[in-house]
DNA sequence: AGAATAGGTGACCAAAAGGTCACCTGTCTA
DNA sequence: TAGACAGGTGACCTTTTGGTCACCTATTCT
């Protein structure tokens, strides 16, 4: 597995938007995802397809052909590996406590 | 906090190398880190300094001035937030099992 | 004080990435 | 079978990014 492809794939906001959409619900087609992107930015179908291909090459998205449609699913494994690369098992609880605190502070204004 | 800065910062292999070095041991100066980078690629001090500045702006690295030296430390919080963005609490155990399996398979040839 | 050391700034150039278009393949349906 | 629909490919242009250099500031040591 190539680290570089994963990080490069995550570097673009449109691709992160696609991952967000697939996180909420998997099994979406290109046309479906195109509409999701179109709600935020102006982009043609070709642009979205190109982004999806990069996500697929990075193994962040897995696909499944069904007739003439291609369904996309989020694969969380590479993201977990990023986490494990820089967060030690021993400091993990510590960091979790920090992020939970941060979330609480942001929710209550 | 700006997501985009974090992901852009992680997109470069030299910057990931710097994070790896700081993960092993924190409190390193620019000159120290310059040597780490020089072991792998040919790069001037200016290049390394530029990368460190991006990591600092992304809050992936925090610094502490001590005399004429500037010490760098890894901050794991933004990485944890990436994890939490796409890995649901419920699927977390599932993914952990998968990555552990993957690690075992790669360790035993 | 003066030299050496550690680091910072802005401009500049080459390489890579994002986005679009014309054109093509495969699949479903009337 | 013809046409509409879902998706893929390669070339092209524009913008962003990585890297270096000349030059500057601040701190330490003799």
Residue A87: exposure state from Cβ atoms within 10 A (0-12, 13-18, ≥19): buried
Nearest to A99 among B8, B13, B80 (CB): B80
Percent of chain A at pLDDT > 90 equals: 77
Query: Among residues B35, B22, B62, B102, which one has the least CA distance to residue A80?
Result: B102
CA distance A29 to A23: 14
- Identify the DSSP state of A28: B
The two structure tokens encoding residue B85 = 């963005």
Determine, for residues A79 and B99 on separate chains, whether the beta-carbon distance falls below 8 Å: no
Exposure pattern of A33-61 as b/e (b: 16+ CB <10 Å)? bbebbeeeeeeeeeebeebbebbbebebb
Question: Which portions of chain B are predicted below pLDDT 50?
Answer: none
Question: According to the model, what pLDDT value does residue B109 have?
Answer: 62
The reported pLDDT for the residue numbered B107 is 78
The DSSP result for A32-83, as a single string, is HHHHHHHTTS---HHHHHHHHHHHHHTTSEEEEEETTEEEEEE--HHHHHHH
Whole-number pLDDT of residue A50: 97
In the prediction, which pLDDT does A109 show?
61
How far is the C-alpha of B99 from the C-alpha of B51, rounded, in Å?
A: 30
> What's the token pair of residue B103?
């690690």
Q: Under an 8 A CB cutoff, do A23 and B81 touch?
A: no
CA A51 to C1' D15, whole Å: 17
Q: What is the CATH number that goes with domain A3-75?
A: 1.10.10.10
The whole-number Å distance from A67's CA to C26's C1' is: 10
Residues of chain A whose pLDDT is less than 50?
none
Residue spans per domain, chain B: 3-75
């Amino acid at each position: 597995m190539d680290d570089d492809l994963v990080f490069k794939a995550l570097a673009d906001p449109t691709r992160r938007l696609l991952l967000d959409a697939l996180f909420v619900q998997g099994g979406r087609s290109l046309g479906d995802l195109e509409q999701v992107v179109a709600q935020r930015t102006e982009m043609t179908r070709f642009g979205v397809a190109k982004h999806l291909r990069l996500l697929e090459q990075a193994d962040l998205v897995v696909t499944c052909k069904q007739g003439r449609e291609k369904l996309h699913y989020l694969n969380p494994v590479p993201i977990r590996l990023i986490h494990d690369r820089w967060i030690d098992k021993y400091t993990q609880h510590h960091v979790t406590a920090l992020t939970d605190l941060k979330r609480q502070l942001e929710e209550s204004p």
